[in-house]
Amino acid sequence: MGFDPTGAPTTPLTHLKPATRERLIITNRAANDGLIGTLDGTPLTPTTINSGIQAFIVPPGHGGEFHLSFAGDHPYRQGLIIGSITAGITALLCAVAMVRRRQARHEVLHITGGTYGAVIVCGGLALTTGWPILILIPLTWLVLRYTLIGRGLLITATMTMTAMWLARAPWPAANYAGDSPLLACACAIAVITMCISLRRGSPEYPQPKTPKSAPPPGPHSAHPEPEPAPAPPPADAPPQAPPPA
């Protein structure tokens, strides 16, 4: 006869009655140092069974409501809120900059360089990605230099793959994709592509154009100024004698 699971309990454990012996609460989750188990607000001692399953030790005489939480949950939610506020402020500043640019009467700044910025960004990627950055930088440069794949296509492909991967394995699932090295490499390729697109040089700040003033007329000017007419003599002045013949 086969196993009949119809009589097996399916209700998750939420309340634990006190007992005279020490017991274990097995969560059937992968062992993680960030998991916190409490019994009526009292933290329980974590342990690991079967080389990878998270459990908690319940001392004798303890009982109550069991609550399982993750230590990084609150910082994660706070980061989402702070990130949303920062994104809104950034979008507002960009809108203000666009309006001011339309109202400006001088030429827009043309940035022709970004070597120092690219070096700083690549250094940050090295800290987050590790040694694979030494392979990703020349590999990305070779793809952009010797293939038909453009910058926009490469960035779109890597970020689309990243978004689809995260959608299939979101946090806090056991197979969360955010910890995958391949996902970090895909994001690094997109950032490297933007850095490689910057040309070597320094920013140029064009000066506002001033109207050219006309050169002062000289003796060899094409249109010399006419000589002023002599002033007429006053009415009560005696008549002047004609010059001798």
DSSP-assigned letter for residue 84: H
CB atoms inside a 10 Å sphere around CB 70? 13
Q: Mapping DSSP to helix (H, G, I), strand (E, B) and coil, where does residue 37 land?
A: strand
Same domain, 53 and 117: no
What gap in Å lies between CA 143 and CA 43, rounded to an integer? 53
- The domain of 65 spans 16-71
Token code pair at residue 11: 């209700």
Rounded Cα distance between 174 and 203, Å, is 47
Residues 67 and 114 in one domain: no
Q: Are residues 195 and 126 in the same domain?
A: yes
- Residues in the chain with pLDDT < 70? 1-13, 103-114, 172, 174, 197-245
Spatial contact of 22 and 45, defined as CB atoms under 8 Å apart: no
How high is the pLDDT of residue 242? 61
The pTM is what?
0.42
Query: Exposure pattern of 120-140 as b/e (b: 16+ CB <10 Å)?
Result: ebbeebbeebeebbeebbeeb
Whether residues 33 and 117 fall in one domain? no
Q: State the DSSP H helix or E strand holding residue 24, giving kind and residue range, or none if neither.
A: strand 23-30
Domain count along the chain: 2
Residue 9 resides in a domain: no
- Tell me: do 56 and 129 sit in the same domain: no
Residue 67 domain flag: yes
Statement to judge: residues 199 and 117 lie in one domain: yes
Domain co-membership, 48 together with 116: no
Q: Say whether both 132 and 186 belong to one domain.
A: yes
Asked, for residue 151, whether it belongs to a domain, the answer is yes
- Report if residue 130 sits inside a domain: yes
Q: Which backbone phi and psi does 123 adopt, to 5 degrees? A: -65, -40
Taking the mean position of all CA atoms in its chain, how far away is CA 69?
A: 29
In a domain, 236, yes or no: no
CA 8-12-17 angle, 5° bins: 100
Same domain, 131 and 195: yes
Please check whether residues 140 and 56 belong to one and the same domain.
no
- Residue 141 within any structural domain of the chain: yes
CA atoms within 13 A on the CB side of 94: 6
CA–CA dist 59, 22 (Å, integer): 5
